[in-house]
Amino acid sequence: MSIPDQVLRLDQLDTEIEQTESAVSGARRRRLRNPELDAAEARVARLRENERAAALQLRRLESELTDVEAKIKHGNTRMYSGQIVDPRELGSLERELANYASKRDELEQQVLEAMEQAEAFAEEVAASDAGARETRTRWEAERPSLERQESELAQRLTLLKAEREGALAGVSPQTASMYARLRANSGHAVSVVRNGVCQWCRVNIPQKDVQHARAGALVSCSNCERILYVGS
Ligand SMILES: [Zn+2]
């Protein structure tokens, strides 16, 4: 294999290794975490919080209502006990009772509304929770296939790395270090020459360089420095 063939193969292998590595970590991420499920479960937690707050509010209103009802009962007992004879005192008690009555009506209305609100939240929680469970079940059912995918990719990666080791063993240390430097600096170490033009940077390559590269020598593009590969 000529030097340009060797470095082209290395370049292709390294690119494939990078892509496979990223595919492996993508598959691992999908196996370990499901953003859709996380969002669904976070939503259920938020809705449960609303549900708890609504239940608390309902209890608070009910206890206020019980309080007002007790005051009305007490006021009525006093009113009809015959113990209050002062008309001014009676008038003031009457006004007090009227205030309590309107407060009670208001609270009864609020309790009804709070009940409806709490029911609505409970329904919302139940629906979201069912949705989240479904998402979890689906994800868990997919897990074996996600695991398989990940392990297949990992196997592929092992093979590619072994192949890379072999390819690297075939090149001279000088070529290897040049290749590594170019690869690290610019992502790709090799550029294909077509019709005398470097396909990476579009610069014309002198004819003698094209010939050398075609003959299997290590020739760099004078502009982008990549190793030139002249296809047959
Ligand atoms: Zn170039």
Q: Give residue-wise pLDDT tens across range 182-232.
A: 999 988 999 999 999 999 999 999 999 999 999 999 999 999 999 999 976
pLDDT of 23-76, one tens digit each? 999 999 999 999 999 999 999 999 999 999 999 999 999 999 999 999 999 999
Ligand 1 centroid–CA 168 distance in Å is 23
Q: Are 75 and 96 in contact (CB under 8 A)?
A: yes
Ligand 1 centroid–CA 106 distance in Å is 82
Ligand 1 centroid–CA 221 distance in Å is 5
3-state secondary structure of 227: strand
Domain boundaries, the chain: 12-169, 173-230
Ligand 1 centroid–CA 18 distance in Å is 23
- Tokens 């990549």 correspond to 226
Class of 12-169 per CATH? mainly alpha
SS3 letters across 190-222: EEEEECCEECCCCCECCHHHHHHHHCCCCCECC
Distance, CA of 191 to CA of 213 (rounded, Å): 11
Q: Is 84 exposed, middle or buried (0-12, 13-18, 19+ CB in 10 A)?
A: middle
For 47, the enclosing helix (H) or strand (E) is helix 35-79
* Contacts for 32 with CB less than 8 Å, ≥ 6 apart: none
Q: Are 53 and 114 in contact (CB under 8 A)?
A: no
pLDDT surpasses 90 at 2 = no
pLDDT at 232: 66
Which residue, 170, 147, 167, is CA-closest to 16?
167
Ligand 1 centroid–CA 165 distance in Å is 27
Ligand 1 centroid–CA 192 distance in Å is 9
Residue type (1 letter), 146: L
Ligand 1 centroid–CA 160 distance in Å is 27
Ligand 1 centroid–CA 220 distance in Å is 8
Which residue, 213, 9, 175, is CA-closest to 221?
213
Q: Are 228 and 205 in contact (CB under 8 A)?
A: yes
